[in-house]
Structure 1
Amino acid sequence: MARKPALFAAAAVTLTTTVIAALTMTPATAQTSKGNVLDGAQVSAADNVAPDMLSAMARDLRISPDQARQRLAREHTAARAESAMRATFGDAFGGAWLNGDATTLTVGVTDARQATLVRAAGATPKTVARTEAQLNAVQARLDAASAKAPKTVPGWYVDIATNSVVVSTKAGAADAARAFVAAAGVDVKSVRIENSTEEPRPLIDVIGGNAYYIGSGSRCSVGFSVTGGFVTAGHCGTTGASTTQPSGTFRGSTFPGRDYAWVQVAAGNTPRAQVNRYPGTVTVNGSTEAAVGASVCRSGSTTGWHCGTIQQKNTSVTYPQGTVSGVTRTNACAEPGDSGGSWLANDQAQGVTSGGSGNCSSGGTMYFQPVNPILSAYGLTLLTGGGVPPTVPPTTGPTNPPGGGTWAAGKAYAAGATVTYGGSRYTCLQGHTSMAGWEPPNVPALWRVG
């Protein structure tokens, strides 16, 4: 016991210097008058963000493009600070989260000495009763008992900011939720029952970020390119199922339990580190996980680009097919057809669309499967830095369609634009950049006849 304070003293030096070094800031920069590590965030951390992403964030988060750029810089700083603190505290880490406008990073602490270290690093400490590991253990026990979850419980998740595990329930069914918690044998003091109107379901059957087809014609979307193929949602296809556009084979798929899969593409298909943002593309430059409270944007061909914030991580959600655990809960909208699509925090891959409730008219709650566990599960390497979407070979510009008419690949079309192809007239349903393989007859989510 006499050695324990010495360990914390060493950690104080390590944490402070590690965080400051990770943020590429001098101690004087980190220690501002407010003592907030985010005050020193440099806009240059978000300089390369695509203008269309800034516009989407401004629209959905109701901020200006410049405020969106500043927010991304603060979130970039917060992610690196959180990573350093997590490595230092280990299993004693109490979690970290951003406030609503991402101006303050709060860190849960269970010891006064931890609080001193957090303040020294420029973050705000908050005393909590349970560590993140303890909350995750509660969630894991609920996961293990998921077969006993009543249909009135749409899911459960670790809520770091309230230091509890939330079990969602339909109105009037709280007793059934409590019985489920009791049957799981968890500490009831760590659980909060919360009413919910969610009706989660997998989002499948129409294209997402980049279209691909499964088996006899069902459609999903490419999540992120990896060496030899791409990752996507597990509910899109089972192991061994074949795909077209691009052609390939599901080499691994898990659903329910988790919601991830990977497809190995056939020769002639070239995976690139790009995500389609309708129109244009975003280059993927890594997969650093954003903090709770950070902004996140989603690509889907049904509803285009939409942004929101990360609400909770390590969530469990119950679909009609079963419970999926380890997904991230957000308030970014999506609709059926956005399944498997890409979630990005600036240029960092976050995950692939799993499912959710609501729509982009009334709002809703959506979940994505984090990408790093997918890469780890299958031993995959995320492709980063340049290229074009993996569904087609690179193109150098508009090309004449083989079916004849005015439609061309490599051209940006706005909603309402009209083209001809194969003797028919088509009207564009949503803005996108056309690609070979996306001829109007092949993509009814993008074009309608007439």
Structure 2
Amino acid sequence: MSHKRIPKRKAAIAAGSVAALGAAALFLPNAMASQTGSDDATASARTFKAADVSDLASQLASQLGDAFAGSYYDAANQQIIINVVGDNSNVINEIKAAGAVPNQVQNSTDTLENAAATLKADATIPGTAWSVDPKTNEIRVTADSTVTGTSWDTLESTVEGLGSGVATITKSAGTFRTFVDGGDAIFGGGARCSLGFNVTAGDGTPAFLTAGHCGVAVAEWSDAQGGAPIATVDQATFPGDGDFALVKYDDPATVTASVVDIGDGQTVEIGQAAEAAVGQQVFRMGSTTGLFDGTVLGLDATVNYPEGTVTGLIQTDVCAEPGDSGGSLFTQDGSAIGLTSGGSGDCTVGGETFFQPVTTALEAVGATLGAGDAAGDAGAGAADPGAVEPGDGASAPGAGGDELGGAGDQSGDTGDDSGSGLDDGSGLVNINP
């Protein structure tokens, strides 16, 4: 990526029509007003938040046994949909009694899990990915532009061999890659990434989460291009069972805030980590492209990057670009959902993007979300999510450069937004309290 960054103050004016500003607008108080469905089948169902899906689905899965076949969130009607195999009236009634909506489907959980295992065994091809899509009750298989010839034939025959209605293939115009690029403005060792969420490490010291492929590539990270390191990688996983890294601040007295900087002095306070739900609206912040929103499309995704296979990811239709790696995936109400891993496309043409679940990363590294006593020190810069207005510059390309301090021009020069490398107190990191 080599496009010139716009100075942040100009971005608020020049990017008024940028699609990403729609993401900022969605933080307005009425953005998620309830829409009551009129269909008789769902009229008696309760309304829920997307964050409720995981707990209710787990409860019903234990009650329903083999009849349970996944769940997803109907954002338009604020309802939880529970997939079931068969027409057992007792099962249907249990789902309705819990306030959810039953949805009879063809494929059981075992069928879909076995299909994913077959894909792993027979079609682990660089440039492919798959995840469970409970909305269609199928495995969503995606092949990027590099999957051609015999590789495509192998993938296609494997999917066909799974049986009718078990999996579908979508061809992506882009190329699957991790979103780190040595040619962009960078923060450590030739790689630019984004900070995800501030956390407290198991030993009580301040740290942050970012993408594992960033942590594997670079041991020390700075908050300014060419600046002195301020944090060192403690643990990193990539490829394999995830894409996450725990990076500890070198100074144990570092004061941080549990917020996401969405640009132009606006922040969203992060209060908890939560599981993703298919159909859920999510927001992604990255140091290259700023703020964008989209929807969760699939869970437990497997992505075959050129560097190796990564499992257990979240699939979305949110765009991202090189340099956004490790950035925050979160919800309007301040739940931490994921860390940007990679995908295809960009924020001009769109594409698929995959995220590391925050809950899994926290458990693996033994950290807790937030900054302990410092979490309440976000100060006046922390905005109520409902206070973010269109035109705040939150989502213009280049407006998110304060993830780890001012990053300067993407092409490597400091340009109009060189920054001091110090966060202004309204962003994710405050290294000089």
Question: Do the two structures share a fold, i.e. TM-score over 0.5?
Answer: yes
2:119–2:159: 8 Å Cα contact kept in structure 1? yes
Please say if 1:200 is aligned against 2:200.
no
Deviations 1:52-90 (A, max 9, x none): xxx999824997945423269743454553343245446
* Residue identity in the other structure for 1:291: A
Q: Does the 8 Å CA contact 2:319/2:351 hold for their aligned counterparts?
A: yes
Q: 2:140 and 2:314 mapped to 1: Cα distance?
A: 14
State the Cα distance separating 1:237 from its structure 2 match. 2.4
1:377 match: secondary structure: helix
Question: What displacement does 1:352 show?
Answer: 0.3
Work out which of the residue numbers 354, 358, 363 in structure 1 matches 2:350. Answer: 363
Within 5 Å, which residues of 2 pair with 1:168-183? 168-169=142-143, 173=148, 176-177=151-152, 179-180=154-155
- TM-score normalised by structure 1 residue count: 0.67
Within 5 Å, which residues of 2 pair with 1:68-217?
68-70=31-33, 74-89=49-64, 92-99=67-74, 101-111=76-86, 112=88, 113-132=90-109, 134-144=111-121, 149-151=124-126, 153-169=127-143, 173=148, 176-177=151-152, 179-180=154-155, 187-189=162-164, 190-205=166-181, 213-214=187-188, 216-217=189-190
Question: Following the alignment from structure 2 to structure 1, what is the Cα–Cα distance between the partners of residues 360 and 318?
Answer: 21
Please give the alpha-carbon distance, in whole angstroms, between the structure 1 residues aligned to 2:356 and 2:285. 14
Provide the secondary structure at the position in 2 that maps to 1:143.
Answer: helix
- Residues 7-406 of structure 1 mapped to structure 2, 5 A cutoff: 59-60=22-23, 65-70=28-33, 74-89=49-64, 92-99=67-74, 101-111=76-86, 112=88, 113-132=90-109, 134-144=111-121, 149-151=124-126, 153-169=127-143, 173=148, 176-177=151-152, 179-180=154-155, 187-189=162-164, 190-205=166-181, 213-214=187-188, 216-227=189-200, 228=205, 229-238=207-216, 241-245=219-223, 247-257=230-240, 258-267=242-251, 268-278=253-263, 279-346=265-332, 347-383=334-370, 387=374
Is the partner of 2:216 in helix, strand or coil?
coil
Normalized per residue, the structure richer in helix is: 1
Separation (CA, whole Å) in 1 of partners of 2:235 and 2:244:
8
Counting matched residue pairs gives 359
- Report the TM-score, using the length of structure 2 for normalisation: 0.69
Cα RMSD for the two superposed structures = 4.2
Secondary structure, aligned partner of 1:364: coil
SS at 1:333 equivalent: coil
Q: Which has the higher contact order (CA 8 A, sep 6+)?
A: 2
Judge which range, 321-330 or 125-134, deviates more.
Answer: 125-134
Question: Per the alignment, do residues 92 and 177 of structure 1 end up closer, same or farther by CA in structure 2, a change over 3 Å counting?
Answer: farther
For 2:116, the aligned partner's letter is: Q
Give, as a single letter, the amino acid of the residue that structure 2 aligns with 1:259: D
1:435–1:108 distance in 2 versus 1, CA, 3 Å: closer
Matched-pair contact (CA < 8 Å) for 2:276–2:357: no
Residues 222-242 of structure 1 deviation map (CA, whole Å, 9 limit, x = unaligned): 111221311111111228822
Return the index of the structure with the highest Cα Rg. Answer: 1
Greater CA drift, 432-441 or 260-269: 432-441
**Is the CA contact 2:258–2:378 (under 8 Å) kept in the aligned structure 1?**
no
- Between stretches 129-138 and 289-298, larger displacement belongs to 129-138
Code of the residue aligned with 1:252 in structure 2: it is Q
Structure 1: any 5+ residue segments left out of the alignment?
Answer: 1-54, 398-412, 416-427
Does the 8 Å CA contact 1:284/1:384 hold for their aligned counterparts? no
Q: Deviations over 1:240-292 (max 9, x none)?
A: 82223362222221222221111122124234322211132222111122321
CA offsets per residue over residues 171-204 of structure 1, 9 Å max, x none?
Answer: 8959745634777998445333333324121111
Query: Does the CA-based 8 Å contact 1:284-1:386 persist in structure 2?
Result: no
Partner of 1:276: helix, strand, or coil? strand
Alpha-carbon distance in structure 1 between the residues aligned to 2:321 and 2:144: 21
Distance in 1 (alpha carbons) for counterparts of 2:143 and 2:32: 37
Q: Is the 8 A contact 2:182 2:190 kept in 1?
A: no
Alignment partners' CA distance in 2, 1:65 and 1:118: 33
- Describe the shift of the 1:260–1:77 C-alpha distance in structure 2 as closer, same or farther (beyond 3 A): closer
| Unaligned ranges ≥5, structure 2 | 1-17, 35-46, 224-228, 382-390, 420-433
Confirm or deny: 8 A CA contact 1:239 1:250 kept in the other structure. Answer: no
SS in 1 for 2:33: helix
Identity of aligned residues (%): 31
